[in-house]
Amino acid sequence: MAERVLITGATGMVGRNLVAHPAAHGHEVLAPPRAELDLTDAAAVADYVAWAAPTVVIHAAGKVGGIQANMAAPVDFLDVNTMIGRNVLMAARAARVPRLVNLSSSCVYPARGKNPLTEDQIGTGALEPTNEGYALAKVFAMRLAAFISAEDPELSYKTLIPCNLFGPWDAFSPGRSHLLPAIIDKLHRAKIAGKPEADIWGDGTARREFMYVGDAAEGIWRAVDHFDTVPDVMNLGVGRDHSVNDYYAAVAGVLGWVGRFTHDLSKPVGMAQKLTDVSRQTAWGWAPATPLSDAIARTYDFYREHHS
């Protein structure tokens, strides 16, 4: 059944891929850019949602960045993301929007959580200090969604927790990017400049799980189309991880850069491992389909077209 779907954060990486995904064509999609709707303005958000009267909200908006950005501006990452989450969820509640998909982040898991990270571990331990502000805001939005649903049975607000995502419309600048787009940018520049070396933060043994954003968009649209079958909180991931060193080697292979890696042990690396448990996702009947090498190649094609 076609839905009237409001996507917040439609000009971000996830939002752009949601709008571009073929599944979006089966729905009436509202995707206001920031110039049209300032999500930090509570009154404006409430007015817009009341006017738009969506049957589903996909909340994909937020201030995002890698370790460097999070460490440089923890106040903004906490304040802005809490404000946005509160405004969107409360506006949906006030307008009686029946269904909402809240996109969270795997940073909501405890820094010393047991891997693979199961959904019931959220809130059981201290968060990773390098992105604690962002994580607290995401925990807040997830709990608010749960409280709204518990208080009003006519409103069903669920949370999907994607693992790390990358792909077209990612941020590639060193000050803002996450690991994989940062590697693509760094090794592309090394290749163009003929540099024989590239540095890696830490010893490269930290492990991360990355999913192609096109796969994430497919999973999110599937959640819209099969909303009643989605668990209230569910990880959205690949279910396997790789070391930072492995990701550097994989990107180097796709880009055709041949050189030597050095390790800067003075740099922060975050959690030693962050691998999501995908048992609920598997039981739900979905898994991402794009192999890592193909995802890197597609992302590099986008990078060369738009950034290099």
Beta carbons within 8 Å of 144's beta carbon, 6+ residues apart: 85, 86, 89, 90
Place of tokens 């669920």: 158
Q: Write down the catalytic residue from 134, 212, 300, 303.
A: 134
Chain centroid, CA 56 distance in Å: 19
Cα separation, 58 vs 61, in Å, equals 9
Would residue 303 show up in a list of annotated catalytic residues for this protein? no
**Residue 266, both tokens:** 């003075």
Cα separation, 19 vs 158, in Å, equals 20
Bridge-partner residues for 159, per DSSP? Answer: 102, 233
Q: Identify whether the C-beta of residue 192 lies closer than 8 Å to the C-beta of residue 255.
A: no
Q: Which helix (H) or strand (E) holds 211?
A: strand 210-212
Which residues are identified as catalytic? 134
